[in-house]
Amino acid sequence: MPDREASRAAPSALRGLLSLVVVLGSACSAGAGSVFSAELSALAGRSADGAWTLNGAGTQTNAVGFEYLVRLSGERGDYLTADLQARASYDPARPEREPWAIEIHNAWIEHRFGLGRNARLGHFEPAFGLERALDTHGTLLQTLAERNVGFKHDWGLGYRGTTGAFDLEASAQTGSGMGLERRDGSVLLSSRLSTPPGTAVGVGVSALYGRTLTSMGMRTLPRPIFDPDAVERRRIGVDALWNTGAVALAAEAAAGSNDGRSVLGALLRASWQVPALDALTLEAQAEHWSREDGTRTSLGACVSLRPGDGWTLSAAVLGDASGDAGDTRVVLHAYYYGRFP
Amino acid sequence: MRRTAVATAVVLAALALARPASCAVGCTLNDPDRDIRRLFPGATGYRTEFVSIAERGGRPLAARIETRLGEPLDPVYEALDVSYAYYTVLKGNAVVGFVHGVNQKGRYGGMQLILATDLRGAVVGFYYQKLTSPEAKRFRSEAFTGQFKGLTVADFDLYRSASAEERARSPVSRIKDPSERSADDFRATLRGVMKNLILLEVFGTTKQDD
């Protein structure tokens, strides 16, 4: 049965992937600039009952992967960028005794019409929330993206550009997340207006409407198992970053509804890059999520060491402050991202 | 259980075999479209190129850079396989300048120093994309960063000269430390800007050699 599922999924998911490979291959033969990077994620989690497992960190899994970024240039400059980031991952908590999976994170091509005007096609982040301002691809602490959108990447079309003092993004996507699927009118429309990245104080305002599909397990292949009914999501959100150098604060809040039922969420994260020990970062995060049928407050603390050579070694304690101590987990994570070969 | 053991073995093997390397790209612009337009208001586009010391000459090239810089390259911040992003700025089809950044170890952490240069290699713009310092405001001020305008790598070569007379002739020696208690970051800034200009020159030269 799983093999049949996988074989049905292969044509749709692989068509896009193969198209991108063709573009990347053409780009290489055209002498475009490219960077190939390898990625490795190894983690183990320990629950309050003392059992160690090879998962326990939400979107992070044990994985080996790569990222291939290509830029095509002409006489008038760069006009096309393509990125493919994929992992072979292992998560014993996946359904149907299929712990191994292919995860496609980025798989997009972007055309530049001019400075500050870019259109994107493929699998990329929706234009919503703090996730657009923080890179959480290799980190244990995450944003509210999973709660607000249901996933961190989706298939579709997008635009990003500059408008006066602000950056503007908008996207129209399938609402299916990592797997490529359309059913029950699934769709995701999102937009975000923000101050440019890299400033000491950054602010973003976002909105989304979607009918998104819920799947068991974060994977592209084998095909995820989707719930038959889409969830109608409406959100508005604000996010902010304040970076003083050694100390950085990140916050976001979002309000809206899931299938007509109100939801409200907020997140606050403080990071301290220990002075004189550039490689050491301490982080603490509080997250509150409220629905009509209950609330949940999660706390997390993480220490990360970057010894160089592309490695990040992290240890985090993640817990549910509104539940019991049984929800507390300790997660150890070794993450590598570096140029290859 | 057996699958878990196999998975663990695969991950551990991959960990053991993974080739240590530095971060994939040393210093890219946070918002290239906006940054390029701000640094070169008439620009209509740019070409992005990734270049590393390892690709362009390896250890011998690194030795030349270190000699010119007067200091060894840092194995973490300045590893040979770090790719530097070079932005060739265009107005129509014509090249009007370059934008390039480097990482530099400062007292409180990594700095990112971005230079915009004209076709002669003279600085037309300089700013910190990242700076961790209690006196960051002073370093980021136009009164300080503006002093780098017009400088070339030859000015820094003169500044590094053994002759006190030649050092005094270099406009670099007239740049004042804007801080009260962060002389280390001031020195790191001068080193980073000089390294940035050296890399611009050697990468351009080695490319022509290709």
Q: Which of B3, B4, B6, B11 to mutate to test the interface with A (most CBs of A within 10 A)?
A: B11
Chain B contact for A66 (CB, 8 A cutoff): no
In terms of phi and psi (left: phi > 0; alpha: psi -120 to 50; beta: otherwise), the region of A120 is: beta
The reply to whether B129 falls in a domain is yes
Contacts of B172 (CB under 8 A, 6+ apart): B151, B155, B156, B158, B159, B190
Rounded Cα gap, residues A286 and A29, in angstroms: 48
Q: Which of A77, A198, A245 sits opposite B30 (nearest CB)?
A: A198
Total domains, chain B: 1
* Chain B residue nearest residue A335, CA to CA: B15
Q: How far is B149 from chain A (nearest CA, A)?
A: 22
Which tens digit of pLDDT belongs to each residue from A164-200? 899 999 999 999 999 988 899 999 999 999 999 878 8
pLDDT given at position A64: 96
Q: Which of B12, B31, B133 sits opposite A196 (nearest CB)?
A: B31
Which tens digit of pLDDT belongs to each residue from A269-319? 999 988 767 689 999 999 999 998 889 999 999 999 988 778 999 999 999
pLDDT given at position A57: 73
Assigned superfamily of A42-57+110-339:
Porin (2.40.160.10)
pLDDT given at position B12: 40
C-alpha B131: how far from chain center = 13
* Chain A residue nearest residue B5, CA to CA: A54
ipTM surpasses cut 0.90: no
- Give SS3 for A321: coil
The reply to whether B208 falls in a domain is no
Domain of B32?
A: 2-202
Whether the Cβ atoms of residue A339 and residue A55 lie closer than 8 Å to each other: no
The residues in A 237-296 lying below 8 A from B, measured between CB atoms, are 244-246, 273, 275-276, 278
The residues in A 162-221 lying below 8 A from B, measured between CB atoms, are 162, 167, 196-198
Q: How far is B107 from chain A (nearest CA, A)?
A: 6
Which chain A residues have a beta carbon less than 8 Å from that of B4? 54, 92, 99
Q: Which of A90, A246, A311 sits opposite B108 (nearest CB)?
A: A246
pLDDT given at position B58: 92
Q: Using the beta-carbon criterion (under 8 Å), do A64 and B14 form an inter-chain contact?
A: yes
Q: Which of A115, A132, A201, A242 to mutate to test the interface with B (most CBs of B within 10 A)?
A: A115
Cα-based torsion angle of the residue sequence B22, A108, A87, A42 in order, rounded to the nearest 10 degrees: 50
Contacts of A125 (CB under 8 A, 6+ apart): A131, A132, A145, A152, A153, A154
Which chain B residues have a beta carbon less than 8 Å from that of A196? 30-31, 34
The reply to whether B209 falls in a domain is no
Whether the Cβ atoms of residue A158 and residue A171 lie closer than 8 Å to each other: yes
* Chain B residue nearest residue A32, CA to CA: B49
Q: Using the beta-carbon criterion (under 8 Å), do A275 and B109 form an inter-chain contact?
A: yes
Rounded Cα gap, residues A38 and A215, in angstroms: 27
- Give SS3 for A272: strand
pLDDT given at position A80: 96
Q: How many residue pairs bridge chain A and chain B with CB atoms within 8 Å of each other?
A: 150
Rounded Cα gap, residues A212 and A261, in angstroms: 15
pLDDT given at position A292: 84
pLDDT given at position A301: 97
| Lowest-pLDDT range of A23-27, A226-230, A235-239, A279-283 | A23-27
The reply to whether B207 falls in a domain is no
pLDDT band at A22 (very low <50, low <70, confident <90, very high): low
The reply to whether B122 falls in a domain is yes
- Of the candidates B48, B8, B6, which has an alpha carbon nearest to the alpha carbon of residue B27? B48
Tens digits of pLDDT across chain B (210 residues): 444 444 444 444 443 333 333 334 568 899 999 999 999 999 999 999 988 898 899 999 999 999 999 999 987 778 888 888 899 999 999 999 999 999 998 887 789 999 999 999 999 999 999 888 889 899 999 999 999 999 999 999 999 988 898 899 999 999 999 999 999 999 999 999 999 999 999 987 555 554
Cα-based torsion angle of the residue sequence B1, B7, B13, B14 in order, rounded to the nearest 10 degrees: -160
Q: Higher confidence at residue B55 or residue A125?
A: A125
Mean residue pLDDT across chain A: 87
A58-64: average pLDDT: 88
